Every structure is written in C-alpha cells, then in structure tokens.
Structure 1
C-alpha cells in the first residue's frame, strides 16, 4: 500500500484500468486515454449526483456476472470510503468505474472508437469541457446488456430502450456511419433517456435539475425539415420523413405547434396538415403521440390560471405546486429526448451524428408519462371550482386505484395538498388559532358572535371543506379541542399556556409525513387527535368544576327550581300564602324577596354555599286580568359567565316552565291539606247539625278522590320523572369526557322532564285536562269554605240563641217569647232550605270533576308513553272511573291488546 502511495496518479489510473478490464497495459491504452481525458476535463454534470444509485448499479453488474463475493467486497469498501471522507467526488469516481467496466466483452476497436470520438470533440485547451450528454437524476438499476449483434456494413448501438422490446418491434435501425463509433454514442444517449423517463416516474423531483420550458429547447425542427420535393408535391401534397415528424412531435409535447403538426382549435386537438402525405400508420401514431401535448396544455393552462389566484388558497396553491413539480419532471424527459435529435459539440458545431429516435420508440418512451399526464388532467377536470378540504377530498378519491404507480403519484400530490390542512389543524388543536384567510379549513369561525355564545355558535364544522379521509368523529374532536382552548382563554379567563395543556409537539410535518399521517387515520393521526382531545377536555372540565362550581349549580337547580328542598318549599309556601292570595297587581318584588330570605334562614337552605344563595331570587311573571299572586310568582336563579354555557337562556326558560307546573301541583297538595284540616276540625263542631251530615259526607268523598289523584300525580312527578331523570343526568355528567357531553346530557334531561311533565306540544290536551282538574280543586275549596262559613255562622247563631235562653231562665224570666221563637224557627228553616242547594252544587262539582278525570284517564291510556299508561292504572286502581265511562273501558281493552298481541 505504501508503494502505491508513492506512484503518480497516471500510473495509479493505468493500474486501475488494467485491474478493471483484466488486460495488459498495452491493451487498455484506449481506456486509459479516455479516462485521462475525462478526469482532466472540467466536466460539470447538469443533474444532481446520486452516489447511491451508481453504487447499486455496480453491485448489480457484479451479481449479473455471478460475482457475488466481489459485490459484497465492493459494498464493504464503498462503506469504508464513505466513512473516510478522503474523496470529495466519489460519485464521479464510481461513475467512471461503471463506465469502464460496463461490458468487458466489447471489442477493443469499439472502445477505441469511443475514445476517438471524444478525442475529436475535445479542443486543445486542457480545461475545456468535452461533449457529454446530460444524464438523468435517477439511473436505472437494471438495464440489459448493452452489446447487440451488429449488421454487415454498420453496427447497431444498444440502449436502455432495447429492454422494452424496441429492437424486437422495429427491427435493427441503421445508424449513421459518418463518424466511427457513432452508434456507441447514440446508444449511450438512449440509455440516458431511459434513465430520465424512469426518473419522471418517481414522485419527487430534484430541485437542482433543470426544468426546460418550451422556449428553452433548441429550435432544430425548422433547420432539419426536409426540403426535397416528391412526385406528389405537384398535386399539392408533401411527403416528409419520419425524422421530421419526430422533431415536430417533440415540440407538440411542449404544447408548441410544429411545422407540420398544429393545434386544430375547432376540434381541440393536434392534427397533421392535410397536405402532408404520410401513411395511415404514421398518422395514427402521430395522433396518439400528439395527445401528450394536449394533456400537457390542459394541465399547464390550469396551473397558469390558478397559480396567481390568491383566492384559490394555500391548498390550491399546493396543488398547483404539485402539478408544476410533475411538469418539471416531464420537461426533464423532453430535454433528454430533444438531445437525441442531433448530437452537437459545446460550440454548436454539427459532428454528423443523427438521432435514432422513431415514432414507435417515442410511443414506448412516453407510455408512462402519458398515464401520469392523463391522471393529472383528470384531476384538473375534477378539481375545477374546488378548493381547501374539498380539493383534498377530490385528490384522495383518485388514490383508490389498483395501479401502484398511479396510487404513488396521487399519494405524492395528496401529501403536498394536505400539508396546509395539517398546518391549519396543528395551529388549531395546539394553540386554538384559526388563520384561515381563504376559508379552506373544515372548522369555521363567526367573528360576529359574542363571548357568551362562543361555545354554541362561534365555531362550527364547515362540512363542505371536510376531507373525505377524516371521519366525522375525528372532525368533531378537532372542533372541540380548539373550541375548548378558546373557551378557556376568552370565557374562563384562564391564562395557562396551551403548551401546558397539550404538551404534544406542535411542529408541522413535511408533505411526505402529511401524506403518511393521513393514510394512517386509525393509527398515528387518531393518536394525536385523541391525546390533544383528552388533555384539553379534562383540563376544561376541571376548571369549570373547581373554579366555577358547575356541579354545585346543577344540584342547586334541582333543590330550588325543581322543588327538591322540601322543608324550604313548604315553609316558603306558608310564608307566601297571605301575599299570594292577593291580586297580582298589588304584589311588590322586594316584599317577596324579603320573605324568600326569611325562608332560607329558617330552613336547611341556610347551609348552602353563599355562591349558590346569592343567585336565588324572586321573579314575577307577566300579569293577566284576574290573576292572583299564585299565578305570577316564580323563583329565579341567576347564571352568568362560563356556567351560562350549560344553563343557557333556553334552558332557564325550561326550568321556569317546570317550576310553574310543579309550584301549581304543590299548591294543589297544599290546598287539599287545608281542606282535610278543615274537615277534621269541623267534624265535631257540626255534629249537632244532623241536617248537614249528607253534605259533609259528600265533601269527604270528593276530597278523598282529589287527595288520591294529587298524591299519585305527585309521586309520578317527583320520583318517576324528576328523581330518575336527575340520577341519569348525574351519571352522565360524571362520565362526560368533554363539555359537549355535559351540555347534551343536560338538554336531554330538560327535554325528558318537559315531555313527561306534559309541558311539550304533544301533551297539550293532557295538560289542559290537568289544569282543569286543578281548577276544580280550587273550586271545591271555595265551595267547602263557603259551606263551613255558613254552617259555622248558623251554629254560632243557634248557640247564641240557646245561651240567651238559658240566661233569661236563670234570671227567672221566660226563656224566649213566641215571637223570638218564631223568628228562630224561620231562620233555621231558611238555613235548612239552603242545604239542598249546597248539596246540588257539590253534586255538580263532583260530576264535573269526575268527567274531567275520566277524560284525563282516556288520554293517558292512548298515550305512547308507557309511564303515562301506568299512571292511569294507579289513578284508577279500583276501576271506579272505568265503571262510569264506556270510552275508558274501550281504551283499556285496546291498550291491553297492544301490549299482548297474542290475546
């Protein structure tokens, strides 16, 4: 090794050539000369160097020659060379090695001709650059043997196209003989073209690769067009060679009219001039090739129109960038193809080597690019008028194909298109920021919504912009995450940085990572969304429960507005009875507020949190003519701030409706309690008036019916409706994962008690009947009070008459005179005459009450709610009303039939 270090570079290079070819120094003279020329030149390739692909090609050559041990040795040496860092231009060395050892079976004269070509093309200046065809970014890793059989009178140069069967399709193509070894140059260039075509099949483009435009290619069509007249030219037709068509078609590939092939605007396609006389097969092939130019124009027109349209949005601009990237790769292929038209040196001097391209070869070369351009053109058509997430959905839909190449292309474009969406999403779920200037994201914001309605109305899902590869559940979680962050900052005034709430990394992924992330929706993407969702929602619920006592306020609603605090409600009703019996227009809210505070201090309500008690207040409803205080009185509970998001105005109006219903039902219970007290207290007093026994018995029976009805209604409302619904609400709140779950559970709770308390529109008939029953209870109270007043007044007069009579007898006088006794009898008779009227009034009241109850039971039995049907059974447990009402019997039978169809 030490000896090698002391040798000159030329000696080392000559030894390297001998070792590679396995020949003597005299036999490798031509290879050595060529190597010196190449290494001594200032060769600067125009494409990005890919050391990995060249090394892989060398290893494949070893394997192809059944030299696996040498391949392994080369791999190890290459790895050590990379770690050493001694050589700066490793790619150049590897490419030189590959070029020298491409085929050891070639005749020496072929290599000599190859070196001679470069010797002629090189100027005398030692630093000048020799002619070298541009090689594509990605070298093919497995192209076939480059040595083909030669024909007599000339040689046939092989190329990468031969691997696709071009030689078998067209037969040997004559190569120009104007320069020795010219076929080798052409073959090497064709191999470069195949590499360029394969490179365009890759989705990524080299940023340093040149992207020639339509104006960047040399105009050789006009210079090389044939000018010989044929026999048919006199008749107005011109015959042209296939080479001229190839030159024209290369310009058509770029959307530029050629000399013979031009765009036909009426038919919207490229057509050959009708004056051109060519065979039908060539005309058909030309038409098929010209379709590539039409597809190019379609894609290019779309990008030119949309690239400068700022309203198209970031997603749209990313789509245009993806199309530009694909067109750039397409232009690289055209550049390599165009270089085959005529081989020129660096000064532009024609060295006489003509192109071996044919139309049939171009068909094969452009097969894959045509498929890619068709896909792009179809995307352009389908994406017209779409932007944002809708555009991403369109691109994603084209990825559902069995063609792996097309799927890879669409996946690459989807990565670029979805990258802005991923940036929007990260800013939203990690910072709560929505920078969507052109309305491309599927989360929309309404800046006109005030803070108190932030959770409900400010942020919504824009379903038209929701990408098809994101599920509705994922979109809902994304919406909740950002909404929770903004709710914490703007409504709860929580200053915790978003990074402490969701510590996940906020860096945006690359387009490739974005495509991979969105293809793994149930894995990585779902994991990121779930992590941010659970952390943010848990933090928000903790803030609401600890700082704003959400659960305590929910329990306070049950205790006060839903009459769950029994001792407080009873004592409040006792204190309010004198006030509420007055006309509604004579009530003052401050007086009622003072009574409310007294009731709080006298009951267990005093032990509630001051935060709860200060929100409890009195409200007077709108007064109608004839209303009393019972009709307009209502409790109220003030809510504001974050808890107003759960207890909205609509929810509070529902609470007030339920309170008024429960308050009225509670009043009926209170009235019947007073009726029972009056009956028990007056039973002994009126025992001395036997003429009232029938009327009093009738009062007792009617009162018992009303007490039974109200007790069953109170049991149904209190236990089956309120307690069961509250327990279900509490369980849902304890298990809630986010604020939306709590709001939804609370709304379901209110809807349930509204419907089961007969306050919804479907139960309007039932509610009217129930209110009529309540009115009859009040009427009965008034009638009984009038009866007892009259009876007690009569009893008082009788007792006074007897007392006066005893007093006069004690004084030794006559007890009463005949006139006084006659007057007493007349008064008693008048009272007794009034008793039938009282009995008749009670009978009418009883009949009307029972009729309303029977109608109420019929409505209950025909209800679709089973709990209401069971309530009808309890209200008529002894079938008292069933025996009186035929319709009720029919309803009961129909209900049993529905419940037991087999009967």
Structure 2
C-alpha cells in the first residue's frame, strides 16, 4: 500500500534497527573475551548492576569485558522491548493509510512507560509530517494534493465520482468539501478539524466564487516563508496557532469582500424594502396599478403586463432613486394557478441573487422570504380591499342623501351594517399588520444587523441570517405547530374579501334605485314644463329604497359574513400561542374586539368613519 504517510512510517521503521545493529556488533566483539575464573580478581560478574566491566588495560585481560547470560539479558531487554513494540505498530497499521495510520501510531503514545512513550513519540514525529504538510497546503493555499486519499479533508465531487455516481452541481460552501472521519487522526480534535476544513474552504470560496484569486496567490506566496508546524508529545500544539492565524486572515478577507465588494448589507436592506414590503410608497403604487390585473383569473394574467406594471410602480415612487443593480434584481413571479385562483393568489415579487451572495441566499432561504411576502401581501390586499369598501360606502351615503328624508331605510340599515363589519375587520387587519411590520420585522432586523456585523466568519454570517428569518417566520405564525392558526387567518382574509362583494352588491342596488328615481324626476320635470301634471293618474311611484327581496338577500349574506368572521376571530385569538411567544399577548390585547366594539357605538359608526 502506497502513500506519503506509509512511506514516512517506513522511513521511521528503517531508522530503528540501526541502534540494534550497533549493539549486535558490540556483543559479537565481546564474544572472544574469556570469562574470568574464580581466582581472577576484579571480575565484573560480581558487579551488582550487571554492567560490563571496563578492561584493566587496553588489551583486555582479566577483568575485561565479557558476556554472560545475565549481562546479555540486561543488554537485550531494552532493544527487544523496542523491537516488539515496533512489530506491534507495524502489524496494527498494516491495512491503514494516511491519517488513519498516523492515528493508529498515536494510540500507542499514551503509555506509562517513559521508554515506550519516547519511542512512540519519535515514530509519530516522522509519521505525521505528511499530514502536517497537507494541512499547511490546505489552510494557506486551499489546495488538495492527495493522490492516495490520505487527508481527512475530501472533495465531495471527487468522492462521488470515485463511488461511481455522477457529481451534481454542489453548493461549494456547504457541500463542496467534507471531513472524512476515517482519515482524521486522533490527535486532531473535531473542532480543530472543522476549523481546518473552513480555512481551506474559505480560500477556495474566495478564489472560485469571489474572483479574488490574486489575493489568495499573494497570501500563499507569503506563507512559503513560514516554518513547518511545531508539535510535541503528539499533541501538535503549534498546529492550533497556525490554523487560528490562517483562519482569522481568510475569514476577515471573505467578510470584507461580501460586505464591501458584493454589498451584502445593501441587498439585505433591499429585500426588506421590497420583499418584506418596507417601501410603503412603492407598495401602495404597485397595489393600485396591479389591482385591475390581479382581479382576473390566474390563467388570464399576462406576465408581461405584470412586468410593465412593476416598472411603472418603480417610476411612480421613490424606488426610482434605487441603485440600478437592486432594481435589475427585483422581478415579478407568477405561479401556476389552481382552480379558481385569481391573480392575487399567484403573484409575488422575487429578488435574484448571484454568486457569491447565492451561497447565503439559497433557494430555500428565498422560499422563506416568499412565505413572509405572501402573508404581508395578503395583509396589504385586505387593507386595500377595506379601503375600497369604505370609499364605496361613503359614496353610497351621498347617494342615499339624494333620496330625501325618511327614505332608503333598508339601504341605510345595510350601510350601517357594512360600516360596522368593515370597521371590525379594519381593526383586526391594522393591528395584525402593525404587529408583523413593526414588532416582528423591525425587532428581528435589529437583532440581525447586530449579529451580522459581529460575525467572524461566513458560517456565523449565514447563521445570523437564518436566525433572522427563523425569528420572522416563528413570530409571524408561519412555522411550527400553528397550521390551524394559519388556516383560520386565511379564512378571516376570505371574509374580508367577501365583504367587498356585499358592499359592491349593495352599491349596485342603490345605484339602480337612484337611477329609477332620477328617471322619474326627469319625467315629472318634462310634464310640468309642458303644463301638465307631474304624476298622472295610474303612474307608478318608485320606492325610494332598494327592493325588499334584494335587501333580505344582501342582509342574509352580510350577517353570514359577520357571524363567520366573529367565530373565526375568536378561534384565532384563542389559539394564539401566547405562552410560547410573549409578544403575542399585546396583539391579543389589541384584538379584544368584544371590548373594542359595543352595541352603543354601532349607531355612531357611520359618522366616525366619514369624519376620518
């Protein structure tokens, strides 16, 4: 089995027998020395330490060095122990390579015997050099030169190809590289391994996604002058400092590039203004322009028309002063309609992101923005609908005043009922919109900006942004165990939109009655100008009100809408998770419609509405 680490082990093994061979030569030289007899003095045999005696003269003689079984055992004890340990290490690493092999050698380091510890450490010093070289090349140059698959950092695409699969288009930051734990030496901790992975990954990201290869090359050239990683006792203390220094420089460089060259903050603010409806004048202009088109069936909507209306809304608001790059990224999205969907159900805005920003704003992240947009868009649609209902009811009041005193009682009662329902719904929509726009969005935005500017690497920046979106989705009741609540909210919106239908139908009936009265008045005027009676015998006198049948039908529908709305609102406020989200307590307090609306105030609703 080949590989740089195995070659290093082979070199370390080849150095160990040298001392052993020297010992064998000494022992063989002493075989010719005769063992002293009992009459000889100074015999080293009595040496209690068992050491070979020094010769009495240069030529040897009695008392000179000689071998005995005891002396041979003493001399061979240490070398044999080393040879046995060497054999054990060789056997245990026979089927291993790379970091796994180095880790296997490291496992013998923790021994109580100082001699064994020193021997293993000496072996490890040589075996880990190739791994350290690969780490240094990775953290300084972002290069993986690993022909034998020995390094614990692996290219995910190459790994898939080796396994026989096709390499899809991977997210370079999240999926481009991974840790192969089988090749991770035991002396490198998991946090340190992740830091090493991120350091090289950051360099690759700078080069491949940020087009910052020149800086990467300059940094790699400077790194050539740095010394090799120092280590002792198998713990590699110097490696942590090396990785810390390398990570700090590349992480800061990447953040500087994202914030300055690629305008991370500007894009976040742009999405807050347009996808989260923070640019009020633009959203109002867009809503006014889109309404005729979005009232159509989804299949009848032209995407080209929507694009043109989007551009018109930009020019009609302060969005026209926006940076060109931002406006080019702002686009219309039209989903496929299902059944009776209208344009309101399929329309949304999207914000295109390219690399390197697409690494932070992934398709999944943009879908989360879309969910928030749809909630806010429905709130704006409901607000716009209620404003239109109020405008229609205000015009109806003026028309009814032309009917004369003590007339139009049925129409006026429906007018008051419509105003009452509209006021209740407006109270709900206004407070819910305030809660989402200010308490949720602005609160989460403040936390996000603080965390984003304190991030020390791309992972922390991504985490800050994901935490920001998660806070919005959670507080807006878009994720978690709130499916029932969201369904109730959709039904409440449906009641709001149905109310406009009731108001429009009432408007049609009142306008019809007004036209009949106007025609009758003109007829009377023509007759009187000719000198005749204004109303002849047998002429039918039109009623100054809407027909009884139409009144009953409209009232029935309005009552049903009002009753359904009250039930849904009570269920909605009851099901709000106020225990989990303390901010919702203030929303529930503001939505206390039982206290807010009273029967006594219902009669004065008309005057209050028109005065506002």
Counterpart Cα distance in 2 of 1:414 and 1:875 = 71
Counterpart Cα distance in 2 of 1:447 and 1:480 = 17
Counterpart Cα distance in 2 of 1:720 and 1:460 = 40
Consecutive unaligned residues in structure 2, runs of 5 or more: 35-59, 159-166, 598-612
* 2:355 pairs with 1:641: yes
Counterpart Cα distance in 2 of 1:627 and 1:361 = 99
Match of 2:324 in 1: 610
**Among 413, 433, 444, which residue is 2:154 paired with?**
444
Counterpart Cα distance in 2 of 1:517 and 1:831 = 99
**Among 210, 219, 227, which residue is 1:492 paired with?**
210
Q: Spell out, residue by residue over 1:49-72, the C-alpha distance to the aligned partner (whole angstroms, 9 max, x if none).
A: xxxxxxxxxxxxxxxxxxxxxxxx
Match of 2:117 in 1: 407
Higher RCO structure (Cα 8 Å, ≥6 apart): 2
Over 3 Å counting, the alpha-carbon distance change for 1:519 and 1:509 in structure 2 is farther
**Among 24, 31, 52, which residue is 1:341 paired with?**
31
Deviation at 1:757, TM superposition (A): 2.6
- Give 3-state SS (helix, strand or coil) of 2:240's partner: helix
Counterpart Cα distance in 2 of 1:316 and 1:803 = 109
Deviation at 1:486, TM superposition (A): 1.6
Over 3 Å counting, the alpha-carbon distance change for 1:517 and 1:742 in structure 2 is farther
Q: What count of residue pairs does the alignment treat as equivalent?
A: 558
Deviation at 1:779, TM superposition (A): 0.8
Q: Is the 8 A contact 1:502 1:535 kept in 2?
A: no
Match of 1:59 in 2: none
Match of 2:244 in 1: 530
Q: Is the 8 A contact 2:173 2:359 kept in 1?
A: yes
Q: Is the 8 A contact 1:502 1:536 kept in 2?
A: no
* 2:355 pairs with 1:665: no
Q: Is the 8 A contact 1:418 1:515 kept in 2?
A: no
Q: Is the 8 A contact 2:330 2:350 kept in 1?
A: yes
Counterpart Cα distance in 2 of 1:725 and 1:616 = 23
Match of 1:483 in 2: 201
Match of 1:768 in 2: 487
Q: Spell out, residue by residue over 1:690-709, the C-alpha distance to the aligned partner (whole angstroms, 9 max, x if none).
A: 23333222222211211111
Match of 1:654 in 2: 368
**Among 318, 340, 364, which residue is 2:8 paired with?**
318
Deviation at 1:598, TM superposition (A): 1.4
Q: Spell out, residue by residue over 1:674-721, the C-alpha distance to the aligned partner (whole angstroms, 9 max, x if none).
A: 122222332243244123333222222211211111112111211122
Consecutive unaligned residues in structure 1, runs of 5 or more: 1-308, 345-350, 882-903
CA RMSD of aligned residues (A): 2.9
Q: Is the 8 A contact 1:617 1:637 kept in 2?
A: yes
Q: Is the 8 A contact 2:9 2:127 kept in 1?
A: yes
Match of 1:872 in 2: 588
Could you tell which deviates more after superposition, 313-322 or 861-870? 861-870
Match of 1:92 in 2: none
Counterpart Cα distance in 2 of 1:463 and 1:721 = 42
Q: Is the 8 A contact 1:568 1:599 kept in 2?
A: yes
What are the residue-to-residue correspondences of 1:496-895 with 2, within 5 Å? 496-498=214-216, 500-501=218-219, 505-506=223-224, 514-516=230-232, 519=235, 521=237, 524-687=238-401, 688=403, 689-760=408-479, 762-821=481-540, 824=542, 831-861=547-577, 864-876=580-592
- Give 3-state SS (helix, strand or coil) of 1:339's partner: helix
Deviation at 1:378, TM superposition (A): 4.6
Which of structures 1 and 2 has the bigger CA Rg?
1
Over 3 Å counting, the alpha-carbon distance change for 1:324 and 1:774 in structure 2 is same
Match of 2:127 in 1: 417
Q: Is the 8 A contact 1:451 1:491 kept in 2?
A: no
Over 3 Å counting, the alpha-carbon distance change for 1:324 and 1:685 in structure 2 is same
Question: TM-score, length-normalised on structure 2?
Answer: 0.84
Counterpart Cα distance in 1 of 2:216 and 2:343 = 53
Q: Is the 8 A contact 2:230 2:239 kept in 1?
A: no
Q: Spell out, residue by residue over 1:782-818, the C-alpha distance to the aligned partner (whole angstroms, 9 max, x if none).
A: 1111112212221332233234334423433222234
Counterpart Cα distance in 2 of 1:359 and 1:793 = 129
Counterpart Cα distance in 1 of 2:115 and 2:67 = 26
Match of 1:461 in 2: 179
Counterpart Cα distance in 2 of 1:409 and 1:444 = 32
Counterpart Cα distance in 2 of 1:331 and 1:751 = 69
Counterpart Cα distance in 1 of 2:223 and 2:288 = 63
Q: Is the 8 A contact 1:442 1:466 kept in 2?
A: yes
Deviation at 1:599, TM superposition (A): 1.2
Over 3 Å counting, the alpha-carbon distance change for 1:871 and 1:466 in structure 2 is farther
Counterpart Cα distance in 2 of 1:336 and 1:819 = 148
Counterpart Cα distance in 1 of 2:570 and 2:517 = 42
Q: Spell out, residue by residue over 1:62-112, the C-alpha distance to the aligned partner (whole angstroms, 9 max, x if none).
A: xxxxxxxxxxxxxxxxxxxxxxxxxxxxxxxxxxxxxxxxxxxxxxxxxxx
Q: Spell out, residue by residue over 1:814-852, the C-alpha distance to the aligned partner (whole angstroms, 9 max, x if none).
A: 222343226x35xx6870343233222211111111111
Over 3 Å counting, the alpha-carbon distance change for 1:514 and 1:328 in structure 2 is farther
